[in-house]
Structure 1
Amino acid sequence: MNYEEALAFIHGEQYKGMKLGLDNITKLMDLLGNPQKELKFVHIAGTNGKGSIASFINQILIKAGYKTGLFTSPYLERFNERIKINNHDIADEQLSNITAEIKDKINEMEDKPTEFEIVTAIAFQYFYEQQCDVVVLEVGLGGRFDSTNVIENPLLSIITSIGLDHQAFLGNTLAEIAFEKAGIIKKNSQAMLYPQTGEVEEVIHRIAAERNSTVNKADFSKLKRITNSIEGQVFHYKGYQDLRISLLGEHQLKNVAIAIEAIEILRDSGLSIREDDLREGLAETRWPGRFEIISHNPFFVIDGAHNQDGIHALVTNIKQLFTGRKIIGILGILKDKDYQQMIEEVSPVIDQFITVTPDNPRAIPADELASYLTKHHIAAVAAESYEAAIKLAYNEIEENDVICAFGSLYYIGEIRRVVQQGH
């Protein structure tokens, strides 16, 4: 099996869709010899901030000398990005070999796994073969029935900020969604919680208590931002002075606070992590596609903001970093998102929209989205392709203006690739 064949197998039509429950992934891992049982995990669930928090923790652990696996989704430009060790993507050959092995095991299964279950199994097998010291593991969707939840005793479970997203699968209220996310908390374990609304915290504390687990929480009142610019942020947190990150936005400071607290719990559990490891790890963390400036003069920003909380953070960043500048927004969005609310919040800071159709069956067609915007008296034009959208945007701006592409992670990776190759 070569690389192209491996990807064709993983993305095969028979594996599309979603099946709630852990039966299939449990069976598949049994057939593989349960490699996940030989690994140590930091498990992360939540609506927003999972990837950023995972990246901070990953980089600090690497700095501390640990061989660190990282499993995230979705990818921006290339599938291999989802499975990394010490920031290096899984090689094509390794992906192909492990996929071939897993294909043989799937042939023994009566009920076939989903695509995400297959990808999860590939990651576990790879991290096991490469003898990772720690794996930072991000859930795909929810938590309780997410295939990553086949793991048994993580070093730490982290619940990030919870908002309304994927209601069709996770529930219609924050409390229902919190219940699904809290499913990653295991018996007699440590959990880390992003401070949030009372109803969410109540659910998580209840589930943790039922499982005799300890809930730790960051203290955002101890966060103090010192400087904020397009180059990054400097801040204090508790006893740590003048910490630096390149990720932009006030919400990233809160994500960092969670990461710092997580590192302290890992240190207490026996990992050797110095303050210098923490400082250097934070400063060197990169998380592409999250308010990432990919070009200057004019500025070109990409942001995977695709729900209400993400849009709120995007608007805050634009106001703080680009006030007084003309902003051209490239917008591509999926039908199952609350795009009306998102547009209502973001439109006051965008001077003109250029709409695109993300490469996803759930995408809103660009012309349909442009029509919706113009009906609400918002300047908008549809583009036939990402390249056309980028060209239109550059034609509308001058040197100090800003282009911002946002709305779905399913297309900004391609925007990133086109811009960096030269528009």
Structure 2
Amino acid sequence: MSVIMLLLLLEDQPIKQTEIFLVYRIDEIKLSADIKDLLEDLDRLNIIHVSGTKGKGSTCAFSESLLRELNSNNNKSTPKNSLNSNVVIKTGLFTSPHMVEVRERIQINGAPISKDIFSKYFFEVWNRIASIEELATIDGDNALTNRIVNKPKKVDIPYFGFLTLLAFHVFMKENVNAAIFEVGIGGEFDLTNVIRNPIVCGITSIGIDHTQILGSKIQDIALQKAGIMKKDSIAYTLDHQKEIVLDVFKKVALERTCKLVILPTPNRFYNDEQLEANLGGKHQILNSILAVNLVCEWVKRTSFFTKEDLCLALNAPESSTSDVWPEWVFKALFATKWPGRSHHFTTPEYPNIHWYLDGAHTADSLTLCTDWFLKNTSHNSNNPCILLFSLSCGRDKISNLESLAKLVKDYRPID
């Protein structure tokens, strides 16, 4: 059977809420010894783990671009790897969902892995999982339940769980030494949360989403997102979060003895119109602030650079402003490619048609997306403005569309 057919088979599996949220934590499945060893050996990936409601993918993309820029010797402001001159940072990036091809979710050095690499490791993981059996367990002490207890059954792993395990496997086999993992849903019970010793964690903006799984109250959602904090680790977030959200983060950090750094949002930086235009909106400025601090903490806590390079760590509140970032930071941020997020493009066939594409699907993100669109288009233009809008099942399409139309109609007529 081909890779495509097997992926479709995984996608078509009926997935219940409990399967996503409780049952299928990879480390709770009775895996074979070699897969358990893989999970225990994840530390050498030097992982940055990122959760949040919005901005996770962008923050991960910015972080990956910054890590790759650390390899550059063409920029005088880039720190030189003088401690380990023979070691090159090899990045791995795991995100979801994908835009066109599933390979986009698993990237090495800024590019999706090749079809050959994907197929090779896909079947290595598939065959391992297919060979695993576990025993059904039912409490009881009679002949019927005893037969059930001893009856072997195959281990089923859902689509996202399989791809998560595949990403771990690919990065280990390909000798990645700087990996960024984006949480799928939530954090505490997310399938990526088998990472035991991340170098640093980041939590982006918290809002209302996936309420059927995470709960309808923002403090419940914040609690799940904070679940990636680990004992004696360090986590970063931004001070633009609601106070009730920050209170949850502080409580979890205290319980887990995790150092929590709440970064300020510098007004001069946040109101930099040129920076906003280059990054694709004010929300991307926030994501970039978080990404820079995550990478600088990564530099501090890994052994790739000398002590002299640690001055590049910009995690101190007084230094988290745009004017102290060295040139290499801006170069990496502006070079970040993240399709489908604040994405403006034209096509060779129709150069006069401008497309503005974004994956916004919550009330908060639609407001930010609209703000970005209006700032990048002329309010007085006579050109028609056509809206193509779609939401996946389980979301309130009418309510979101009404909110979007209300935001835009005063500035641009929509066909």
Taking a change above 3 Å as real, the CA distance of residues 168 and 310 of structure 1, as seen in their structure-2 partners, is same
- 1:336 and 1:312 map into 2 onto residues whose CA distance is 20
The answer as to 2:300 corresponding to 1:268 is yes
Query: Could you list the per-position Cα deviations for residues 376-407 of structure 1 after superposition, in whole angstroms to 9, with x for gaps in the alignment?
Result: xxxxxxxxxxxxxxxxxxxxxxxxx9999xxx
Give 1:100's aligned residue: 123
In structure 1, what residue type is equivalent to 2:51? A
Q: TM-score, normalised by structure 1?
A: 0.75
Tell me, yes or no, if the aligned pair for 1:2 and 1:93 is still in contact at 8 Å.
no
Give 1:277's aligned residue: 328
Give 2:250's aligned residue: 205
- Following superposition, the deviation at residue 109 of structure 1 comes to 3.4
**Higher RCO by CA contacts (8 Å cutoff, separation 6 or greater):** 2
Equivalent pairs, count: 343
Question: Identity of counterpart residues, as a percentage?
Answer: 29
Give 1:385's aligned residue: none
Q: TM-score, normalised by structure 2?
A: 0.76
- 2:181 and 2:23 map into 1 onto residues whose CA distance is 16
Tell me, yes or no, if the aligned pair for 2:52 and 2:186 is still in contact at 8 Å.
yes
Give 1:133's aligned residue: 177
Give 1:71's aligned residue: 94
Taking a change above 3 Å as real, the CA distance of residues 84 and 139 of structure 1, as seen in their structure-2 partners, is same
SS in 1 for 2:179: strand
Q: How does 1:213-292 map to 2 (within 5 A)?
A: 213-224=258-269, 228=273, 233-234=274-275, 246-270=278-302, 271-272=304-305, 275-292=326-343
In structure 2, what residue type is equivalent to 1:38? R
Taking a change above 3 Å as real, the CA distance of residues 149 and 225 of structure 1, as seen in their structure-2 partners, is closer
- Following superposition, the deviation at residue 37 of structure 1 comes to 4.2
SS in 2 for 1:172: coil
- Following superposition, the deviation at residue 338 of structure 1 comes to 3.4
Query: Could you list the per-position Cα deviations for residues 129-179 of structure 1 after superposition, in whole angstroms to 9, with x for gaps in the alignment?
Result: 011111010011000010100010001111110100000000110000001
Q: Unmatched 5+ residue regions in structure 1?
A: 236-244, 353-400, 405-423
Taking a change above 3 Å as real, the CA distance of residues 60 and 259 of structure 1, as seen in their structure-2 partners, is same
Q: How much is the aligned-residue C-alpha RMSD, in angstroms?
A: 2.6
Tell me, yes or no, if the aligned pair for 1:178 and 1:204 is still in contact at 8 Å.
yes
Tell me, yes or no, if the aligned pair for 2:202 and 2:236 is still in contact at 8 Å.
yes
Tell me, yes or no, if the aligned pair for 2:3 and 2:122 is still in contact at 8 Å.
no
Give 1:47's aligned residue: 53
Tell me, yes or no, if the aligned pair for 1:54 and 1:138 is still in contact at 8 Å.
yes
- 1:286 and 1:149 map into 2 onto residues whose CA distance is 26
Q: How does 1:15-414 map to 2 (within 5 A)?
A: 18-21=19-22, 24-26=25-27, 27=29, 28=31, 30-32=33-35, 33-34=37-38, 35-65=41-71, 66-107=89-130, 108-110=132-134, 111-195=155-239, 196-224=241-269, 228=273, 233-234=274-275, 246-270=278-302, 271-272=304-305, 275-295=326-346, 297-322=352-377, 323-325=379-381, 326-350=384-408
- 2:238 and 2:33 map into 1 onto residues whose CA distance is 34
In structure 1, what residue type is equivalent to 2:21? L
- 1:338 and 1:198 map into 2 onto residues whose CA distance is 27
- 2:103 and 2:216 map into 1 onto residues whose CA distance is 33
- Following superposition, the deviation at residue 119 of structure 1 comes to 0.4
Taking a change above 3 Å as real, the CA distance of residues 59 and 30 of structure 1, as seen in their structure-2 partners, is farther
The structure with more strand, counted as a fraction of residues? 1
Q: Unmatched 5+ residue regions in structure 2?
A: 72-88, 135-154, 313-325
Tell me, yes or no, if the aligned pair for 2:94 and 2:182 is still in contact at 8 Å.
yes
Greater gyration radius: 2
SS in 1 for 2:386: strand
Taking a change above 3 Å as real, the CA distance of residues 119 and 13 of structure 1, as seen in their structure-2 partners, is same
- 1:120 and 1:43 map into 2 onto residues whose CA distance is 13
